[in-house]
Amino acid sequence: MVHLAALPGTPRSSDPVAAIVERAVTEARLLADAGFDAVVLENMHDTPYLLRDVGPEIVAAMTAAAAAVRATIDLPLGLQVLAGANREAVAIAHATGCTFVRAEGFVFASVADEGLMDAADAGPLLRYRRAIDAGGVAVLADIKKKHSAHALTADVDIAATARAAEFFDVDGIVVTGAATGAATDLEELARCRAATELPLVCGSGTTPENIAAIFAHADAAIVGSWFKRGAHWSGAPDPDRARALVEAAREARVNR
């Protein structure tokens, strides 16, 4: 995961778009050189997030970053536009040659720290993807997503949520811990693995120490914290930590 610096118009914004893009390219190249299989761009520094409607300035800046990274690395490239701006992510991905997006609020409602995600986005999102002829952009959906309360769907367990996402034609499923960097519950991963044959992704808390246990169930892991200095998402990428994580992942795959 490459966390873009705060984008124009957001409270923490300080850098011009050109500098944000240059940093994203540098970080993406570092991850590619370390041996990562894919890169995801995300506007993590745009706190506090807007709920779905992020504004054209965010779309423009993320498009510039995605296009520059796409021209620099020859790896699958994904996008997430916080918070829940899934159609914007698909549009950017389609315009810049990205492979996939990570979507929030695909099935069921939840209460996120941005507010109530009261309408599942699967129907509008996949119709939008068809309308702009972006069928080559895969949608990976978070279920029971982090930084959210799920009391509204407490009677729907995570396996049933995974099956619902599959029924609604998602391309892959992301399972996370309770917060950014928090370990994902291995039992929840196992239940989702038993519930669906779709690609299954661990979305938070991956480390060299637990990656073998994660890969016993998941097909991939999105990492945005451990390879940073201080193992915190806001730190700068550490090349040594990045290589160590890749080595642990390769060993785990060999031993599956």
Look at residue 24 and tell me whether its pLDDT is greater than 90: yes
Look at residue 188 and tell me whether its pLDDT is greater than 80: yes
Q: How confident is the model at residue 172 (pLDDT cuts 50, 70, 90)?
A: very high
Phi then psi for residue 173, to 5 deg, are -125, 135
Look at residue 237 and tell me whether its pLDDT is greater than 90: yes
Q: Are 63 and 95 in contact (CB under 8 A)?
A: yes
pLDDT at position 255? 82
Domain ranges of the chain: 2-254
Q: How confident is the model at residue 173 (pLDDT cuts 50, 70, 90)?
A: very high
Give me the sign of the Cα torsion angle 173, 178, 179, 181. Answer: negative
Return the percentage of the chain with pLDDT > 70, whole number. 100
Look at residue 179 and tell me whether its pLDDT is greater than 90: no
Mean pLDDT of the region 109-124: 93
Residues 6+ apart with CB under 8 A from 32: 39, 73, 74, 75
Residues 6+ apart with CB under 8 A from 91: 59, 132, 134
**pTM of structure:** 0.96
Look at residue 240 and tell me whether its pLDDT is greater than 80: yes
For the 2-254 domain, the top CATH level (class) is alpha beta
Mean pLDDT of the region 56-68: 98
